[in-house]
Amino acid sequence: MPAQVTHLGQGVNVTKPGNEQELLTVAQDLVDAAVGGEQVEVIVSRGESTTVKVHSGEVESLTSAGTAAAGIRVIRDGRLGFASCGTLDPTVLTETLESARDNCRFAEQDDYNGLAEADGVGVVPQDLWSDSVLSMTADHKVSLALDLERQVIGLDSRVSAARTTSYGDGWGQAALASTNGISRVGSEASCSIGTQPLAKQDDETQMGWGSDASRDPDSLDLQKVATEAVERATKLLGATKPSSARVPILLEPRLAVTLLGMVAGMLSAEAVQKGRSPFADRLGEQIGSELLTLVDDPTRSESLGAEEWDGEGLACRSNPLLKAGVLEMFLHDSTTARRAGLRSTGSAVRAVRGLPTPGPQLLVMEPGETLGPEMLSGVSQGLAVESFAGIHSGVNPVSGDFSVGADGVMIRDGELAEPVRELTIASTIQRLLLGVIRVADDFEWLPGGSGACSVLIDDVSVSGS
Amino acid sequence: MRRRQEPGSCVDNPTMLETEGSPLLDQSTLLDQSTISAVLTAGMEDGADFAEIFVEDRQSISAMLDDGRVEELASGRDRGAGIRVVTGETTGFAHTADLSVESLTNAARTAAAGARGGAGKASSVSASPQSTASRTLPRILPENVDKADKVALLKAAEDAARSENQAISQVTARYADSRRRIQVANTDGVHSADDQVRTMFSVSTVASGDTGMQTGRESVGHTIGFELFSETDVAELGRNAAQRAITKLAARPAPSGEMTVVIGPGGGGVMFHEACGHGLEADLVAKGASVFAGRVGEKVASELVTLVDDGTMDGEWGHTAIDDEGLTVRRNVLIKDGVLMDYMWDGLRARSEGRKSSGNGRRQSYRHLPMVRMTNTYLLAGDSEPADIVADTESGVYVAHLGGGQVNTATGDFVFGMTEAYLIEDGKITAPLREGNLIGNGPAVLANIDAVGNDFAMGAPGTCGKDGQGVPVGDGVPTLRVHGLTIGGTAT
């Protein structure tokens, strides 16, 4: 799953971000209420965010949000119960602990159930905080969004409006404590901008998009976002339906990581142990092209998706998934690790209000050797994909069947040619991985946190008329 | 810690009480009239055109069986209020989980500050008396059902699925119920409340064979209580989910290219949801992001197409008594005999056009601004015998069951997944096909519907996502035939 930057942030009425120790105490006090024979884990979070949406030079909406949440996991006699709430009100928290306790009476015993145990792996410290985000005035936020919209509309005569242009920011804080002595707390802040320009030509409309995210509002690159968004909107104008063919497809870094994110999800030990991963018995085997090396590494400070600890409070670490196409490992949380007789890989992913499961956190591709401009050379016919549609309905993570809608630009004789739309791309995840014939040297950190490069994949069914 | 998206909105939760006759649902208000008045007054005090408070109290419970074991029971509780203030074209919005007068009036002032800049008039506001929309009450509130009874359903479904065939290698069963009480009041005099109880159940299977693994899923969900299970046999759901996976083990790759597609009853409502539903949402239309903009009164579909969005359908997944702006939901005819009658509207968009909302203002929770959303969207039945539609199709694909979909409203291009499909050869349904997506263009597909059956069924419960908000929606179709959809298969 590509990392999502959470926009936790500051309201219009600026309240001082909470005290970390105080939040940790809220979690610890509940853990201290554990009775003999039960394991209790409490995760609590709070934050504030602002979103400004502008349209036609006016503020369309300004949203100020303060949120809080708690998730409580109780394990007793190998039985698991969970309860959550959307407040840190002490009375409700106590009731929530009671609900979690009650819920574990009805689950069945699983001796591998248990909370994470401290494993001695040290946290790689990250500086996720940003005073500059918190000191933004509401007027400044509004002016950034309006400025972006102005830039978008001034770039191309065919673009006279954007569906929405927005600025968002926020801060968030989370604390986790457990009866196993785990105790973590951390805070983060970030900001982002985004736009969806509409390009019109004759009776046709195409929608583009662009976004950027940062911990420093001043480094948001409005010009780049506007340029990219307008390019995306205009380049598909006049697109037609292509004829069906089996051709190579080019995926830009953002789409390459969409594909690899699905693969990484299939490498979750949860899927493997429950017989739902097509890669379950492939450890140590070549499952992808030799050109593919992929690591899941939330410790990369240069990424906006960096994290210190996972959803069970264990230190995040670098986990090599594919080395030159060879499957190196599966991702574990403490429960799947216990079942496999291994140690957690620090890969528990969760929402505060949900249970942790193992999954990818911050995917980083190793850059390839093909120079960007040479990615198309020698490709007599192919498709440079602009966007996928229907990923959630068209990719089956159990069978690996892959069939999604797409649009893009045809590649002819090594050059980008005419735009195409209303087509589908079909293969299997397994075949797509093996079919990678070029990886570019164009590594970039995406706004969502992942680091990726463009890839060229051979022999894919593109269906049109 | 990497955040996973918070759990979606189609699940929920806990405690209950008896039945029959007496009003089960709590008709008491979440906030009293004086609090409401104070909040609306605070929202208007600097001068604004409109203020609204939306209060929500939501409880949910879900239970999951996986890998042969009831793995977990999870319950959730959420309560809070969102306050919206509109001045001119600008909306300010703030929310809080603290329902004290002080916290609520603070949120109202924050929202008002967000909406500042317009030229409204200061005024004091008194809340109108609350009206409670009439609705059918759930017979059995899930919160009054023992958790053990909910867990027992999971075991029954699993047993049935595993007994169906030895090739079934994994089964997941999930039970979820929710109760969402809402109260909405605004300075236009709306003050109403609703108590929405939903119950759902799903079974997912994996079948393993020589060709690898395949999956099957069946789900049922209604805006009713635990009586769902006197109408629904979870064992049958389990068997059907198993059968769907087994069938696909022997399936061949789907064809590739443009085909004639026959969609079975209930299986394909999501096609209309994507092909035109989103494009008929007034907020997208107003921004020029819909291919259906400016086409009211025009023929936009085959005359066989009459499409309705109907929040009043008792018990259906997208049913409520009021929308999330406090208006009684309605049955809105969107397309009649192929002619576009109207778009769907929320209050904000309707106000700026000087007309009435169609009752389609919905939101995921009190933390979200309402926007135009569908409820239960369906195609009315036609005259053709379903069997004749298949028999008249020389070659094509029969889609018994669709998965999710997605649309680009600006171009009208949409996709949806087929989770159970077969070839049609010489007018007969033949070999099962593997999964694949279909892609089409909304206006073109609507024009190319050339047969609509005299049968009809609602489909599986869905969660519709738009701008990051998920809301429960229903859909339904009779058997129908459409030309010119492109199937994303690998067979050549």
ipTM: 0.90
Q: Contact at 8 Å (CB) between B305 and B446?
A: yes
pLDDT at A457: 98
CA distance A390 to B488: 11
Residue-range domains of chain A with CATH: 20-233 (3.30.2290.10), 239-465 (no CATH)
Q: Quick check: helix, strand or coil at residue A252?
A: coil
pLDDT-based confidence at residue B17 (cuts at 50, 70, 90): very low
Q: Which residues of B fall within a CB distance of 8 Å from A392?
A: 404, 406
CA distance A54 to B89: 10
CA distance B192 to B131: 5
Q: Do A426 and B490 touch (CB under 8 A)?
A: yes
Q: Contact at 8 Å (CB) between A321 and A308?
A: no
The pair of three-digit structure tokens given for residue A202, joined into one six-digit string:
């004759």
| Chain A CB within 8 Å of residue B232 CB | no
pLDDT at B28: 62
| Chain A CB within 8 Å of residue B440 CB | yes
Instruction: Name which of A83, A399, A461 is nearest B75 (Cβ-Cβ).
Output: A83
Q: Contact at 8 Å (CB) between A388 and A256?
A: no
Listed by number, the residues of chain B in 414-433 with a beta carbon closer than 8 Å to a beta carbon of chain A are 414-417
Q: Do B411 and A96 touch (CB under 8 A)?
A: no
Q: Do B77 and A92 touch (CB under 8 A)?
A: yes
E strand segments, B97-236 = 131-132, 168-186, 191-209, 212-222
Q: Do A163 and B6 touch (CB under 8 A)?
A: no
Evaluate the CA torsion angle A429, A432, A434, A440 in order and state its sign.
negative
pLDDT at B18: 29
Q: Contact at 8 Å (CB) between B378 and B392?
A: no
What DSSP designation does A152 have? Answer: H
Q: Report the chain B residue with the minimal C-alpha distance to residue A275.
A: B170
CA distance A357 to B176: 19
| Chain A CB within 8 Å of residue B339 CB | no
In the predicted structure, residue B168 carries a pLDDT above the cut 60: yes
Listed by number, the residues of chain B in 300-329 with a beta carbon closer than 8 Å to a beta carbon of chain A are none
| Chain B CB within 8 Å of residue A200 CB | yes
Evaluate the CA torsion angle A316, A169, B43, B186 in order and state its sign.
negative
| Chain A CB within 8 Å of residue B100 CB | no
pLDDT at B11: 26
| Chain A CB within 8 Å of residue B75 CB | yes
Between A401 and B7, name the one with better pLDDT: A401
Q: Contact at 8 Å (CB) between A225 and A145?
A: no
Q: Contact at 8 Å (CB) between B295 and B340?
A: yes
Q: Which residues of B fall within a CB distance of 8 Å from A104?
A: 73
CA distance A393 to A403: 9
| Chain B CB within 8 Å of residue A201 CB | no
Number of Cβ within 10 Å of residue B5's Cβ equals 11
pLDDT at B461: 93
Size of interface A-B (CB pairs under 8 A): 324
On the 0-12 / 13-18 / 19+ scale of CB atoms within 10 A, B394 is: exposed
Q: Do B2 and A82 touch (CB under 8 A)?
A: no
| Chain A CB within 8 Å of residue B488 CB | yes
pLDDT-based confidence at residue B344 (cuts at 50, 70, 90): very high
DSSP, residue by residue, B357-371 = --S-EE-SSTTS--E
Between B192 and A9, name the one with better pLDDT: B192
Q: What mean pLDDT do residues A370-396 have? A: 94
Q: Contact at 8 Å (CB) between B281 and B207?
A: no
| Chain A CB within 8 Å of residue B468 CB | no
Choose, out of A63, A164, A344, the residue to mutate when testing the contact with B (most B CBs < 10 Å).
Answer: A63
Kind and range of the H or E element at A231?
A: helix A222-235
Percent of chain B with pLDDT over 90: 80
pLDDT at A125: 96
Q: Do A87 and B1 touch (CB under 8 A)?
A: no
Kind and range of the H or E element at B240?
A: helix B234-249
Residue-range domains of chain B with CATH: 33-249 (3.30.2290.10), 256-488 (no CATH)
Packed helices B33-44 and B101-114: angle between N→C axes, nearest 10 degrees: 30
CA distance A17 to A47: 8
Q: Enumerate residues 6+ apart whose C-beta is below 8 A from A31.
A: A40, A41, A42, A177, A178, A179
Instruction: Name which of A4, A67, A427 is nearest B490 (Cβ-Cβ).
Output: A427
Q: What mean pLDDT do residues A276-302 have? A: 97
Q: Do B437 and A424 touch (CB under 8 A)?
A: yes
Number of Cβ within 10 Å of residue B100's Cβ equals 10
Q: What average pLDDT does the structure give for chain A?
A: 94
Q: Enumerate residues 6+ apart whose C-beta is below 8 A from A367.
A: A439, A440, A441, A442, A443, A453
- What backbone phi and psi angles, to 5 degrees, belong to B205? -130, 155
Written as one letter, the residue type at A56 is S
In the predicted structure, residue B13 carries a pLDDT above the cut 90: no
Q: What mean pLDDT do residues A68-79 have? A: 97
| Chain A CB within 8 Å of residue B101 CB | no
Listed by number, the residues of chain A in 205-234 with a beta carbon closer than 8 Å to a beta carbon of chain B are 205-207
pLDDT at A276: 96
Q: What is the CA radius of gyration of chain B?
A: 24
pLDDT at B122: 54
In the predicted structure, residue A93 carries a pLDDT above the cut 90: yes
Among candidate residues B437, B462, B432, B461, the one with its CA nearest the CA of residue B207: B432
Paired residues of B121 in beta bridges: B48
Q: Enumerate residues 6+ apart whose C-beta is below 8 A from A297.
A: A317, A318, A319, A362, A364
Instruction: Name which of A58, A61, A273 is nearest B369 (Cβ-Cβ).
Output: A61
Q: Do A61 and B93 touch (CB under 8 A)?
A: yes
Instruction: Name which of B2, B14, B96 is nearest A307 (Cβ-Cβ).
Output: B2
Number of H helices, E strands in chain B: 10, 23
Q: Distance, in angstroms, between A371 CA and closest chain B CA?
A: 31
